[in-house]
Amino acid sequence: MKRICVIGSGYVGLVTGSCLSDLGNEVICVDNDKDKIAALKDLKMPIYEPGLEDIVKRNTKAGRLVFTTDLKRAVKDSEIIYITVGTPPKANGEADLSCVEDVSREVAFNMDSYRLIVDKSTVPVQTGQRVKETISRCLKKDIEFDVASNPEFLREGSAVDDFMHPDRIVIGVETERAADLLKEVYMPLNSTIIVTDIQSAELIKHAANSFLATKVSFVNALSVICEKTGADVDKVAEGMGMDKRIGSTFLKAGVGFGGFCFPKDVAAFVKIAEKLGYDFKLLKAVQEINKTQKERFIKKIENALWNIKGKKIAVLGLSFKPNTDDIRFAPSIDIIQALQKDGATINAYDPYAMDKMSKVLPKVKYCSSSYEAADGADALVIITEWSEFKELDLAKIKELLNDPIIVDGRNIYDPDVMRKQGFKYVCIGKKS
Ligand code: UDX
């Protein structure tokens, strides 16, 4: 059992802190947002993430997990300090590290004996070195400490499961003491632990996310060729993916990747490379393909409807992917805005993301079901592949729609079946 404090109760911090407490550690989750901490004390989750609420409730009751705004106390009471504060993108794509710097100072001011400071936020390579220098400068007396990098690979929607069953755990350290402490923390997970230097651990995170985004852009580019040649992108991806050297995941063509990680992390990696004097053209192409994939999807809707002006369009799925209410950098935002700009009115439905989206896109009519959204609409557009959309009563949908047009950005239906049912069905990377 270790005494751990996790600074920053956002997505990563909250999942990390609660899961670490579930492994038997005593965890203090800190955030400077008083409302968020008050809500968490009342066991109200600020995000929707399957399994999270149960873990928080269980460990809070057991007294292993507490929430506070008192960073000073948390640092004094913990041996291991995780930094999981936000590193949002600046206008030029670089990560804003001011919160990491502020927290490093605060930690230094409040340390009274050895501490291991673990960076889990997504940060540019060499941030660990900066954290170390900052702490050294701010320490009031000569206290030993270590800095480590322990990147997270949690996917939204399955973050708890990803934490508990990781493919690997990456630990970037400078001393054996730091490595041993982190190995002890993660021992209950029984997973492969890779120990590296700090810079390599930081780079693993950039490399992994950028490579996954590259796979998505590759298959999206492939979808264009499939449409032009009559091939089926899902079949091509299946055939490619069965080669173990390629792998079948992250080869699902769609409307382009979104979320708070891929767009931001790819942009940050391009910037990091630029600063280091390397033009990472491959990743720039990944970004460009992602942008055009969204534009192509909007064109598909326009083609299917002929004219957008005055049309009512039902949109199913707003979150950037299923099983999350996260709408940050969700493709749905750009797509809906483009349709509204062209004069369409939008009926939307999403199982979890409507609350958040209503603050970003107030002029949309938010519906209580897919059927309500489809009622009287001139077309149905699928942007996020929530499971419940795969189970829709399509005969009912056809009856409710003004025109039986479905534009599917996630290929959730079989085109032949849809056409037999009388739909004009347009999807990604297949013959229309
Ligand atoms: C990602 C990484 O997977 C995770 O390891 C890291 O810690 C955080 O960033 P996340 O952003 O939660 O996780 O979502 P992910 O499941 O990776 O999907 C990212 C985007 O790519 C989504 O918009 C998704 O719809 C899209 N995607 C993914 C595809 O379009 N096709 C695919 O085959 C896979």
Kindly report the CA angle at 355 between 93 and 369, in degrees rounded to 5? 120
Question: Is the backbone of residue 323 left (phi > 0), alpha (psi -120 to 50) or beta?
Answer: left
The span from the CA of 208 to the CA of 409, in Å, is 25
**For the CA of 249, the nearest atom of ligand 1:** 33
Q: What confidence category does residue 239 fall into, taking pLDDT thresholds of 50, 70 and 90?
A: very high
Task: For the chain, give the percent of residues with pLDDT over 90.
Answer: 93
**Could you tell me how far CA 357 lies from the centroid of its own chain?**
16
Interatomic CA distance for residues 260 and 262, integer angstroms? 6
**Predicted local distance difference test score (pLDDT) of residue 93:** 79
Residues acting as catalytic residues: 261
CA angle 335, 371, 385 (to 5 degrees): 50
pLDDT score recorded for residue 400:
98
Confidence (pTM): 0.93
Atom of ligand 1 nearest to the CA of 208: 5
CA distances from 370 to 163, 262, 323, 351, 362 (A): 33, 28, 16, 9, 19
Q: What is the pLDDT of residue 356?
A: 96
pLDDT band (50, 70, 90) for residue 432:
confident
Question: Does the beta carbon of 152 lie inside 6 Å of ligand 1?
Answer: yes
d(C-alpha 140, C-alpha 120), whole Å? 25
- Residue 414 and residue 374: Cα distance in Å, rounded? 20
Q: State the pLDDT confidence band at 140, using cuts at 50, 70 and 90.
A: confident
pLDDT digits (tens, 9 = 90+) for 92-135: 878 899 999 999 999 999 999 999 999 998 888 899 999 999 99
The confidence score (pLDDT) of residue 122 equals: 85
Q: How confident is the model at residue 354 (pLDDT cuts 50, 70, 90)?
A: very high
First to last CA, the chain: 58
- Each domain of the chain, given as residue ranges in start order, spans 3-196, 212-426
Q: Say how far apart CA 77 and CA 81 lie, in whole Å.
A: 10
The answer to whether domain 3-196 and domain 212-426 are alike in fold is yes
Whether the predicted pLDDT of 215 surpasses 90: yes
| Distance in angstroms (rounded) separating the CA atoms of residues 102 and 4 | 19
Nearest CA to ligand 1 atom 20: 257
| DSSP-assigned letters across all residues of 43-92 | T--SS--TTHHHHHHHHHHTTSEEEES-HHHHHHT-SEEEE----PBPTT
Q: Classify 133 as helix, strand or coil.
A: helix
Whether ligand 1 lies within 6 angstroms of the CB of 429 is answered as no
Q: Which of 156, 233, 257, 293 is the best mutation target for the ligand 1 pocket, counting ligand atoms within 8 Å of the beta carbon and taking the most?
A: 257
Q: Looking at this protein, which amino acid is placed at residue 91?
A: A
CATH topology of domain 212-426: Rossmann fold (3.40.50)
Whether the CB of 155 sits within 6 Å of ligand 1: yes
Q: How far apart are CA 316 and CA 386, in angstroms?
A: 9
The fourth-level CATH superfamily of domain 3-196 is: NAD(P)-binding Rossmann-like Domain (3.40.50.720)
pLDDT at 92: 86
What is the rounded (10 degree) CA torsion for 411, 413, 415, 420? -160
pLDDT average, residue stretch 221-234: 97
Pairing between β-strand 424-426 and β-strand 365-366 as defined by DSSP bridges: unpaired
Whether residue 23 is predicted with pLDDT greater than 90 in this model: the reply is yes
Distance CA 10, CA 294 (A): 28
pLDDT in tens, 150-169: 999 999 889 999 999 999 99
The mean predicted confidence, pLDDT, of the chain is 96
349-380 exposure pattern, b = at least 16 Cβ within 10 A, e = fewer = bbbbbbebbeebbeebebbeebbbbbbebbbb
Q: What is the pLDDT of residue 95?
A: 86
Residue 346 has pLDDT above 90, yes or no: yes
The protein residue with its alpha carbon nearest to ligand 1, atom 3, reads: 155
Judging by beta carbons within 10 Å of its beta carbon (0-12, 13-18, 19+), is residue 57 exposed, middle or buried?
middle
Q: List pLDDT tens digits, range 35-89.
A: 999 999 999 999 889 999 999 999 999 999 999 999 999 999 999 999 999 998 8
